[in-house]
Amino acid sequence: MNPYLEISPEVQEALKAGKPVVALESTIISHGMPYPQNVETAMRVEQTIRDNGAIPATIAIIGGKLKAGCSPDEIEYLGKKGQAVIKASRRDLPVLIARKEDGATTVTTTMIIAAMAGIKVFATGGIGGVHRGAQQTFDISADLEELAQTPVMVICAGAKSILDLGLTLEYLETKGVPVIGYGTDELPAFYTRHSGFGVDYRIDSPEELAAAFQAKIACGLKGGMLVTNPIPEQYSMPKETIDAAIEQALREMEAAGIHGKQCTPFLLAKVKDLTGGDSLDANIQLVLNNARLAALTAACFK
């Protein structure tokens, strides 16, 4: 057993009994929205998973411990501390552990800790990917590398619209990561259901999602599986509106000289401002939608 891993009693009991468990990230709590909305949303997502027959496991690093399952008090702590919590990717784990510091887990680190704990399904908002202009900057999210090597199914609303979606799909293909469209043949683009890009396969039921991932594991194929679940129609934003906001946000980011891990938080906050807060409401709804599907899929594992 990893001496730095702490699995909450509820999650440990569920895993031991073979009950469905769904991992959740914590960057959305500390960096995704302001307090107290961040904590309220995190608790809503956990309750949505419970309502659909699974146990939630919010993942974070607290005091140097890799937490698989956070208590309400720990979620409150992360929410209040906000952006003072380090946004932790794979490279950050050793130092945060050694220094006994806190870290909010990205898709990458949530996958790592979920796999350590034996959790197979993870619900999030959107994955990172190849950033626009990556031909010059080499700015490619660690999420893609993690999907290529860590055996966790990631259920999301597609790659974030701020990315180069075509290059992101090419990268995933090269790494052998299956990109599944849940009930769709088109890659959803986070705030909107439409991107103009196709997925590898369409799957229409949680049962088939679970069966496909179990077949991948049984064949000894390394890496995860990406399930893209479109935002519900009533919350989807027009592609033209989002594209215009993203283009303006990108111009402002470049003018401000922002780069690296600060890019995504800056762009998401700027898009929220430019859309009058509509993008934040959409963000919350798509996460709840992904949590429902993740719980139903986790319940189908045999």
DSSP annotation string for 121-144? EEE-S-B--BBTTHHHH--B-HHH
- Assess whether 25 carries a catalytic annotation: yes
What the chain holds in terms of domains, given with CATH numbers, is 5-298 (3.40.1790.10)
What pLDDT sits at residue 238? 84
| CA distance readout (Å), 32 to 83, 160, 204, 213, 287 | 9, 13, 30, 29, 12
Catalytic site residue from 25, 46, 74, 76:
25
CB-based contact 268:162 (threshold 8 Å): yes
Catalytic site residue from 87, 160, 270, 272:
160
The residue whose two tokens read 């594991």 is 217
pLDDT over 90 at 294, yes or no: yes
- Assess whether 302 carries a catalytic annotation: no
Work out the average pLDDT over 198-214.
98
What pLDDT sits at residue 277? 67
Confidence of residue 147 (pLDDT cuts 50, 70, 90): very high
Whether residue 9 has a cis bond before it, omega within 30° of 0: no
What does pTM read for this prediction? 0.93
pLDDT over 80 at 1, yes or no: no
Between CA 243 and CA 162 the distance in angstroms is: 8
